[in-house]
Structure 1
């Protein structure tokens, strides 16, 4: 895809998102999902594994995301990056809820050691729930660190995209990323 086509697509996405926010147009939001479906599917596959897990498949995750977005009354998204940032948070909630449902009544007292990696995502339901709880704890310490982890880990955004979204330098985000990883690792093994 050439840069002109990508620019037009981004402009179209921004206009569609604005239309969805202003008029509540489900058709506009549906078109955004249509334009970004392949990217959302790749993102979902990276979050739940190539073939899906016992918890949730990539296709189900994208479908649940669409339902969640269309049911939201006040969905105001500024553009493609903001869309993916919001999608990351929603995917986190969907995957964690599915893992919690699968684990209902199966909680044990064993401790988990989880390593947060930019490219690997554990398929284990306990890992998902533990990571979600650690992110909630991280938010109480520093909400910006929680947001960074969601954008990087769940949305798969690059540091450059995150820097543009949050208005900070990539260098400071890299420092915060290392801090967030260290804090999460400490929380997950404690």
Structure 2
């Protein structure tokens, strides 16, 4: 099915046509699952979320397209990638909160770090760096989310953001440098 046909289904879904949703799901599910798999590959082994659960939860967050209709396939996939990112951040925050209040998992500085804690910290540190990037340059933050988390090509990102491909390439390069600098500074402190 072509992008324009998917766009028509998204439009019909946003207008309340449940039959359009039933036609749409099989067409986009594999792509959403691939995105979720990429997210999960970056997580620690034994993560309690699985790609299928991540897709389902993200889809639940996007289940009311009438509030903000999707312009096209790329726009929908970008929104799904954002939803997945936020789900992983929420999950990491919950895990850290559980560890903070669970006396079994308390570890003194002399005993070392609790296993697995750094993975949640990494997700949260990346989120803080992305928030900092959004304050500095919102478009660069969007480029990172769409490229890194959404798995989109530079051409797809340019289409979603309505900018040129060289602009996306430049934003991607600068954003990666800034994020690396900020995350390295966090690791050092």
Give yes or no for TM over 0.5: yes
CA 1:160/1:72 → structure 2, altered by over 3 Å: closer, same or farther? closer
Aligned length: 169
CA contact (8 A) 1:100 1:125 kept: yes
Aligned 8 A contact 2:7 2:72 in 1 = yes
Residue 106 of structure 1, CA deviation: 3.9
Listed as ranges, the matches of 1:8-19 within 5 Å are: 10-19=3-12
Out of 33, 36, 40, the position equivalent to 2:28 is: 36
Distance (Å, rounded) in 1 between the aligned partners of 2:36 and 2:169: 24
The alpha carbon displacement at 1:35 in A equals 1.2
Partners in 2 of 1:91 and 1:157 — Cα distance? 14
> What is the RMSD of the two structures over their aligned residues, measured on CA atoms?
2.5
Match of 1:145 in 2: 140
CA contact (8 A) 1:55 1:102 kept: no
Q: From the superposition, tell whether residues 55 and 77 of structure 1 become closer, same or farther in structure 2 (CA, over 3 Å).
A: same
The Cα offsets for residues 44-90 of structure 1, whole Å up to 9 and x where unpaired, read as 10111299742411011001011111156503001111111111111
TM-score, scaled relative to structure 1: 0.79
| Secondary structure in 2 matching 1:104 | helix
The reply on whether 1:77 has 2:70 as its aligned counterpart is yes
1: CA distance, partners of 2:18 / 2:129: 34
Return 5+ residue gaps in structure 1 as ranges. Answer: 1-5, 111-122
Counterpart contact for 2:59–2:80, Cα < 8 Å: no
- In the other structure, the counterpart of 1:114 is none
Secondary structure, aligned partner of 2:63: helix
Residue aligned with 2:163, SS = coil
Give how far 1:126 is off: 1.6
